Structure formats: C-alpha cells, structure tokens
Structure 1
Amino acid sequence: MRADETDNDPVVAEIPVFLAKTLAEQLYVLQYPVRPHSHSYDESTILKTNIRPRSGQIEMELGLRTRGPTYDKSKGEQIALNVDGAFRDKCDSEDNFYKSNVMDKLVLTSTKAMTDVSRYAVGVVRDSSLHLTPLSSVLALRPSFSYLDLADKRGRQERKDMSGDTEDSDDEEKAKKVTVRFEKPETIKSRKAKEKSYGFLLRQIREEPWIEVTYHKYGSERSEFELRKLYCMYEDEHVDQFSLAPKEYLSQLVPPTEEVQLTTPGLPAHLMSRSALTALPLHDRVKTVMINAGVASFGELLGVFSCENSVESALSVLKVLQQVAVLVQGNWVVKSDILYPKDSWSESGVANELIQRGRDFVLYLFTKSTSVVRAEVAEVVRLPSNDLKNILNGVSQCRRSRATWEFLLSTDTNFMKKYPDVVQRQQMIWQSRSEQLSHNFKDKQVKQDDTNKAGPSTGAKKSRAVRIKSEPSDDLSDPQTKPQPAKQRRGNKGPR
C-alpha cells in the first residue's frame, strides 16, 4: 500500500474487545429461513419447547389463530379428524395431537445450519466496548409435517381393523421361515465405520429423550437477566497478543472450563434450573440460585421460581431469601459465610474467615454508595490482590477508571418502597455488622502497630492508622472507641 493511500485511510476509533464465556456452551442462534422478516414469530404463542442437549435439536409448538380471516376452518377440522380419528372426543385430551376439534398448533423442528461454528460469535456493544460470546450452534427452524405421518398411520390401522385381517396376518407371521446368521466379530475399524454411518447417527438422535424447557419472550425479566450474561464481567483483565506466543495467547483468551465440567458433568448448565431445582426444598432452591447468581433483584428471582403472580409464593421466597442473602441497593447478594465457608482457605492461603470480613466490608460500602475505590478498600481489609479482586468481581465491575468499581445492578427502588419493613430490618443487620467489622479491623491494626514497635526503628516503615470511613449518621465504630488525635493519645502528664 502506498503512503498516500495510507494517509487517506486514517484510524477512526479504537475500541476494546472482551470475551464473555458465561453462555459459551449454551448460546444458540435460531434462523427461520421460510418465514419473512415482516411476519416473525415474536408475537406468537409458544405452547411448548423441547430440546435435545447432546444432539443440539430444538422443537417448538406454536399456537395458531383459528378465528382469523386467513384460517380455513373446514380444512383444519379435516386435518384434526385424520390425525386423531373420529372418536377423538371419547379419548383423553392429552392423548390427542390437537387439543381442539381443529388444527390449532404448528410444530417447528430444527436442523443444523452450519457444521462448524468455531469462527462465529455474538457481539454486543456497551460503553464503546465490544463483548463477544462464542456460539454453540446455529439452528434453522422449519415447520414439521409429522402430523401427515400420524394421519397416514391411523388410516392404515383403521383399514386394517375394518378388514379383520389381524389373525390371518398372525398366521402368516408364524408360517414365515427364519434364517439364522452368525455375525463376524466386530473389529475396531468396523465399529468406527458403523458409528460414522447415517443410520447409526440417526438412531442416536432418536434415542435421546426430549427435555421440556420454558420459553421466555424477548423483553421479559428472565430474558433481560440472561442478556446480562453476554457482557464480560472481567473487563480489567488484558491479554497482550504481541508479547505472547500463539498457543499462550489462545490459552489465555479461551482458558479451559474445568470447573463447569466438574459442576455439571455431561449436561448443559441451564438444565439445572428445571430438572434438579424442582426436586429441592424451597430453602435449597433459593440458596442454589443465589450461589450461582451472586447478585439478583427480587423480580428476577420471582421469574426464576415462576411465582410472579402469586403473592403468597413471593412472601415465602422473601422469607427464605433473608436467610441466605443480604440487601444491597435494593438487590439481594448471597451471604459471605455461604460463599466462603469456615475451616477453608483461599487460593492465596488466607482463611475464609478473613475473606468473609473483607467481603462484608465491601458490601457495607456498597450500601452507602454505588461505587467504591479499590485502593481505599485494600488499605482497610489488607487482603491479597487476587482475593480482593475476586470479591470485587463477584458484586461489581470496573468502570472507566481502573481504581473505581461500580455495583452490578442499579438501585431497586420499587422493592424498597414495596417492602419497607424488610429494608429497615436489613439496615439494622448492617449496622450491627459494621460495628463488628470496626472492632475486628481495629484489633488487627493494634496488633500490627505492636509488631512494628517491637521491630528495629531504623529503616522500618510506619504503618498508617486504618479507619473505616462512613457517614456521620451511621458510623461503623462507637463514638467512645474512635481513635483520638495523636496529641491526645500521648497522655496527660500535667504541668511540670
């Protein structure tokens, strides 16, 4: 490229690119090749949604408008009669393919539109930064005409019953000759060739059972909750591709997900919410969801437990929620003692009891403000950099300035207005916890000061006094135990 061409093509902007991996194994792109964009399925009624996780297949049942001007009712009645039979009214409605007397639903089945999606990702832009999430599969959904096969099968069966050839056919079955064959021992080569055959793969797909899942439309609280997972939560981590070898760069860009495999072996993570959680008691369900979510609003939690419209169920969830989480900015955060159990240590070798105190101090600061400064927190809690970073990543994200961390969710004023008694109770809990933290951090500083006094005086750095900053109306420490100015602490020797 010539120099003049380079000058005519200046760099307009540079934006950071982040890799989000929360939905890396669960993100599907659905295409509708036979449906025009002007007539999408967004406003359709989704009756049922099934998925085959290993095969990556999706099946959706959509309700049809049987009273519209474009619907042929006589044709719909004929199709329902052919599929379910003339005596469909005497059968249980669950046994019929169509619940009404007409064709009232449409079934969409998926096929893989692409065999290799490793080079594709979904990108979203936020605050002039691009967040990419790798795709799991790209599926094309088309209408299924399996009801024609059902009608053909029922017609053959009815003709067979009317002719009365059942016994004759059984006699013919008995009169047939049977040929006995001895198969050769299967070798490794023949077994691999068999596994690659179309018949074997088709049989494997059909043998995998369908798992029913819940469909959440775009714009609902649950969809907005899942949409946040498209953003990277670790924006302060950078990978410099110019100072690393290609293999090292790829390993840091896409590290192995061993923890996810250990947590849910052989199953996608999203199946936990319907299969395993349903069998657990309410307390264990709320605890499991909070451990995995970390931070969530009350409306999002009600959507997960499908009790938005039940006041009684919402109060039950709220009662259990106060046992496993604390209130911060009108949102719920899992308790530190649940996330960091005692008698354990972090990767840096710090006892979890100290990690609990540090995290509670960070949460208390967030109850007073929506952002904190990392340097001020580090000066008080005095935890290793990795442990403090893990605490902040769990409840906040770095914004613009790398030293400032902002709480993950905006303040939920609706919850605070609707449940003032819960808010008041949580404020009392935080006040009591802040006094404990003030006492613990002060004792820790006294021990450190004694150690510094016992050491050599030359060349030793004097440790700064640690004070927990708070608002005057809600101080962490008791006024009687506040550190006094240096001149007053030296003692009153009196006049000489």
Structure 2
Amino acid sequence: MNDDGMASDIDMNDEYENAADSIATDSEEQETDPVVQEIPVFLALSTTGLVLIQHPTAKRAHPLAEATTMRLKPLGQRFEVDIAINSNSQNYSVDSAEKLGRGIDNEDIATAYDKVKEDHTTKLLDKYTLQSSVLPSSTGGQYLIGALRDDEFHLTPIAATIQLRPALKYLDKILEKEQAAKAKIQEHEFNLENPNKKKEEAEERGVTVAARSIENDPEALRKAKELDEERKFAQEEWINLRLYNENSVESEEVYEKLFSLGDELSFTYSKNDYLQSIGPKLSSTIKQDFDGNKKNMKLNRCMDDISDLPLGDFLRSFMLSVHVIPFSTIKELTEPRFDELDLVEELERIAVHVRDGIWVVRSELLYAGRVCEARRILLQLLARSADPISRYEVNRIAKLPHTMITNMFIEICARVSGVQTYSGRNHVGSSLYALGPGGLRPASPERKIDVYDGDSEMKWGLKAEADNVFCERWPDFVEKHLKIVEDEGERARHVLNSRISSKISNPLLHQKGTATSTPIPRPGSSMHLSSKNGSSSSPLPVPTTIGSKATSSIKVKTEPTQASRQELFTVKGNSINEQCEYLIHLLLAKYGVASKEFLVASVLRHKSVPGSTGKENLLNNDSVNEEFIGMSIDGICVHVQTGRFVLKTLGSADQYRDVIINLFKTKTTLKKPEIIQACVDHGTQAIPQSTYLKIMRELATSSGPSWLIDDFVPSIVIFRSSNKVQCELRMKE
C-alpha cells in the first residue's frame, strides 16, 4: 500500500466488480422465470368478526348446506349446528336409529314393570349435532380471506377459527336413562322380596362442612375453574342463528364488504413511537409497583424495563425471572452502577448462595406451604454436594404431584446423563452380628448391599456455571449462606415430617412428664440399647448398617443426648402379647413399612418404659426376646418383600389394601391403571381416590406416574462389645 492509498482503491474496485458480476448472474437466472404481472394488495377493514369454520371429520365439501338449525353462546364460546340425516338412504338403519333415538328426549326408558302406554310412539334419530371446539379469541391475523377483482387483491383479517366435530350427546343421555331404569328395577324387585318391610324413614344426621384451601393445589384449582365455567355456560341462553346460502342477497352484501375502498393508508407513528408501542419503557407509575415488600412482581420483563430501577428492585425482578445465576453474571450486568459490596448485601435479601458462587432466588418469593418447604430441601441437597440428585430424594418427603416437583427442578436444575440408578456398596466389619428370627448370629464379613435411589430417570444438577472467584473473595458470605441453606432445609424436613405424622389415623400415645418421654430424633440420629434390659451403654466406634439403605459404612459416635433419642410410646395391654402387638401396631402406623430387625429392637427398647395408668409393663421379662417378638410380627404383619413388613389390616380400606399388598409382593413399582385393574379382577368396586391415596402413601412413595414401595424403612445397626449387644436405630426421614 503506497502513501496515496492506491492499493486500497484497487481492492475496493475489485469488490465492486465482483458484486456487479454477481448481480448480473442473478438477473440472467431471473429472466428464465420472469414476472408476468404485479398485483396491488389492499387491506379491507369494512367487515369485522369473520369466523373460519373447519370440518376435519366431514367427507363432503359443504356439510352446512343441509343444516336445520344453528345456535351460538358468545360468552361460553360454543357454536352448534344440527344437520338432518337422510332417512331415505339405503344406508339408513331403522333399528339403530330407534336405539339411538332414546337419547333425544327426557322420557324414561320403559322397564318390564312399567305399564305400556297406548299413545307411545317410537322416536328415531333423524339428525346429528356438530359442535365447535372452544371458540378462540382473535388470532391476530393468523388467517386472512382474499378476494381478487379488477387485478386487485383485497385481504380481510379473520377474527377466529373453529373446528366442528360430532357431539354425541344422545349416547350420554341413553347411559343416564339405562342407569335410572336399572335402579328402578332393583327397587321394584326389593319391594317384591320384602313386601312387609316398610321403607326406613330418613334419619336426621349432622352435616359436617370442611373447608379446605386449594390455593396450593393446582389440580383442585383446575377442577374449580372447570366447574365455574360449566356453571356459567349452563346459565347462558342459546342465540339462534340463520344460515344464508351463497347466492342470497345477504351473502352478496357481505361479499361486497371484502373489497377495500382504495383509500391510502396514513402512517401516524414515527419510528420511536412504533418501538415504544411494542416495547414500552417503564413509566414512573409502573416503577412504583416494584415495592420491595410485594411478592406479586411481574416476571419476565426485559432488561430495558428494569435497568434503571434501584438496586433492590432490579435484583428482585431479575432473580424472579432467572431463578439461578452465578455471581459473575450479575456483576457484569450491574457494573459500573453499583458497588460490589452493596450488590452482595442486597442480593442476599432476595437470594441464597447455594455453592460455587451460584445464587438461587429464595423459595418464599416463589412458593408457599409444602411446595416452599420442598424447594428448601432441594437447595439443601444441592448445597451439600456437587453430585447430581434425583427428584425422589426430595419427593419421598414432600410427596408433591409429579408435574409440580418436575417444574421445580427445571427452574434451577438441568438433567445429567450417565448416572447409574443402582449401585453396589461393600461394607466390611470384623465384629458384625445380624439379628434374625433365631436371634443374633454372626453376619458375613463382607456384605454387599444394593442401594436403589428411587428415581429411574436421569439425575439433576445446578444449571449455572461455577464462579469460584466469588468464593475466594467472599468466604464469610459463603459460610454464612451454607448455614442458612442447611438450617432452612432441616426446618423444612421437620415441618413436612410433622405434617405426615399428623395424618396417621391411629395417634401415638407418649409418656409425659417422665424421663422416658423424649422427642422424635432428627434423621440419622442414633440410640444405643442393651438387648436384656434396654439400658444404654457407650457405643463402639465402627458400626455397620445391615438394614435398609445405608448412609455411610463407618460412623464414629458419641453418647447420644436426650434430643437425639427415639420417641418412646406408652405401653398398653393386659398381657405380654397385647403389649408387644400394640407397640408393633404403633410403629407400623407411623412408618407404614419397616424391617423386622427395627421392630424387634424397638420393642426391646421399651422394656424399661412404665405401663399406662394402673398397668404393669410386662415386656420387662426374659421371655420377651427376639424370637418371641418375631412371632408377634408374623401374627399381625405381612412380609411384602425382602426386609419389608406391613400391617395385615387397618380397617375399612382393607378390601383394596389386600389387593395392593399382593401386587407389591410381586413388583417393586406399581402404576394406578394396574392397581385399578387388579381391584376389578378381584371383584371389588372401583377404588375411591381418597382410599387409593391413603393406602399408597402408607406403603409407597410417589415417583412420577409410578408408586415405589418404601425403601427408606427404619434401619438398625447391631454389634457386640464386652459381651453386650448394642443397637443403633437409624430413623426413617
């Protein structure tokens, strides 16, 4: 390149020549497919409210040509058409028309016990009804109708599109009539069999009205909305419409309105006005809505809308939209307007630091009640370890609907592939003893336990990238929020476990005012016993789990405090058998599913507990040993699967419960359709939804559309030291 810039001029000329050659080549290609005619396009706005009617099930082009009546409910957004059936056609079946004709009026179906009416006439089905799907609001010009005249193309927007499909209302009416006729026959036959039995007078009974909040139940909200829409639809009157054929005067008048008058469109918007209309800036009035004390923030605002807000309002609106984000990204968005220290201090009021510089919006800003507590447990699990987690780890405690728990995970997590759901762990102990029907016996020195995590789907992990720089710069905040997340998670577990315990039909009776009445332990707490007298002794430092799922193979413990001991129950009963069975019943009423080892150790632990008022604790007897308790368990319990026992009976729900227990004996996972089918095959009536949920929550845990039999049964660790048998009870969360 010379000083005069000649090289640049040559390069630019070459580019222009290449571009010109390209344009010339395109022009040559276009000549092979020339433009024949240019047609101006006009927008006609004289006619509004045009509706496009589609007939996806009709075989002929114009099914409405034979319509007899048409009607509309504008508020209910429903359109119906009655079309006559050609009874003279060779395909018309009089027998079928007579059967279906029973559903076109409100007259009852005659039974064998009814008198035949002399003026009775057989009605035939001579028409069918087409009804629309939900009549949508304006689609914003998704469809347009075009008309060509005098080499001008005129377009008119279509307000809505509906589809007409057959409405088989007469089938529903026939079903209702058949059920009514069946009930009439049963009543008549009952009266014939019991001629002297008078009909019992209706007794006055108190009516209990229970009010239940549905604001946290999406399914209940949906049903309530549907019922409200059905009520409004039933109250609205039909408006009869008249159909004009295409050659009528009325149709010609509407057709003429499809053509524009040819007026030129005038544009009143400037470029800035147009941009303001599709993406307005926040006014000062709207900015006042971003009150830091309000939770009903408008979500998903663009950055231009919130960038000028104060720091607290900006972070609140931003975090409510993104849910999870590394600190480095927040810092980039706010520099240089805000100081980093101010940013961190304001951020912790709206979000919590989970780990690795990743912040997540606080749960109470998004949810309430049980859903909020479940999300706090999710954050606790994410903060404890970088390992992926499953929905089951949260939902076995929260017991939320599948869709709700999945959406909660999607907000802040991403699926992680390649994680095995089954794993084998080897636990080795030189002085390990197992508790079985025959008493204590040495266990295998090397025992492999298959651990199932309850979620056959992929695991989940935080979907934000780590920001380790934040952890290095702000270690105090990291440590502070680690404690906050852990404490909130523990409180959430306690709240959810308390709610589950309160739903047990047989309440637990506690010994009050004595040293033996102790609170329910935290998950993972332990208790040490003597197999003879139930007194506690110092533990060995290396216990090994031999019950259900193990949380760790080696655990060094200190003497348990009163707050960490298992809850003790009042011993009731007039005999040893009654007292033993009573305790077993209480334990299984609380946990639903438990291992025999846990039940045996729990009963042994109650040897030193006083009996109820005026009763003696008969369990404090040498005859009450592992074998005796095992026989009691076999008498009132059912062995469902390896290491899992449930009560044989609970009461009125047993006609369905026995069927479900038998299914769980063959399968670990069940789905509702196969449970319903099994009940039908067993000859029972359709299982009520409340009974179904009560049984399944007792025996299993929801894992999406399936129910998994409880795997987190209370487990027990047994070992020998100085000729004393000691037990650790690990409680079910």
User: TM-score with structure 1 length normalisation?
Assistant: 0.40
User: TM-score with structure 2 length normalisation?
Assistant: 0.28
